[in-house]
């Protein structure tokens, strides 16, 4: 069981979660090298969580592949190739993308404008899995060597 599912399972065991079973949905990630990986993920997981729990760490450019506290950094950009089974885009996601594209500061730090969005651009931290069938292109995976310190 994933670390994200532990809380749900504990609540269910303690009778606090309505006793509902965990619902899994299939999702396909297209990795940067073009290979595809089909995974089963819990309903309502974000794409970022879905990737992470299956050993695919999306390169976010932040905190060793982690997320920002408010989902506003827009560093977990993905391209959705098939929207089936994924949540619709909400205002917060649009705002985060637009602010990043405009280069507006985030968390008190300046940032450079990012590439324009396409009709398929989504944020991994905002997009939720709500059914089967999504297909998502990951542009880059987290590389721990990028954050490794100097040997000196």
- Domains of the chain, by residue range, sit at 22-142
Residue 130 above 90 pLDDT? yes
Task: State which of 81-85, 122-126, 142-146 shows the largest mean pLDDT.
Answer: 81-85
What the block records as the tokens of 54 is: 């299956």
CA 12 to chain centre: 25
Whole-number CA gyration radius for the chain: 16
Of residues 15 and 87, the one with the higher pLDDT is 87
pLDDT of residue 72: 83
pTM: 0.77
Q: So what's the pLDDT on residue 15?
A: 66
Choosing among 3.40.50.180, 3.30.70.560, 3.10.20.30, 3.50.50.60, the CATH entry for 22-142 is 3.10.20.30
27, two tokens: 């999702």
User: What are 126's two structure tokens?
Assistant: 């905002």
What is the predicted pLDDT for the residue at 93? 93
Q: Which position has the higher pLDDT, 42 or 109?
A: 42
The strands making up 121-123's β-sheet, listed across from edge to edge, are 36-42, 24-30, 134-137, 77-82, 121-123
137 Cβ neighbours under 8 A, 6+ residues apart: 30, 78, 79, 80, 81
**pLDDT per position as a tens digit, 47-85:** 988 998 898 888 765 554 455 667 788 888 999 999 999
Q: How confident is the model at residue 2 (pLDDT cuts 50, 70, 90)?
A: low
Per-residue confidence (pLDDT) for residue 71, from 0 to 100: 78
């Amino acid at each position: 069981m994933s670390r994200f599912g532990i809380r749900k399972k504990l609540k269910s065991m303690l009778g606090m979660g309505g006793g509902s079973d965990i619902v899994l949905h299939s999702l396909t990630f297209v990795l940067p090298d073009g290979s595809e990986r089909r995974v089963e993920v819990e309903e309502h997981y974000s794409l970022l969580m879905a990737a992470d729990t299956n050993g695919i760490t999306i390169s976010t450019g932040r905190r060793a592949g982690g997320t920002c506290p408010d989902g506003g950094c827009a560093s977990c950009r993905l391209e959705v190739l098939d929207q089936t089974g994924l949540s619709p885009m909400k205002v917060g996601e649009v705002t985060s993308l637009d602010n990043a594209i405009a280069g507006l500061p985030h968390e008190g730090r300046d940032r450079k404008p990012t590439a324009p969005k396409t009709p398929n651009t989504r944020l991994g931290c905002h997009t939720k899995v709500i059914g089967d069938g999504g297909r998502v292109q990951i542009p880059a995976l987290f590389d721990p060597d990028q954050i490794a310190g100097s040997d000196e």
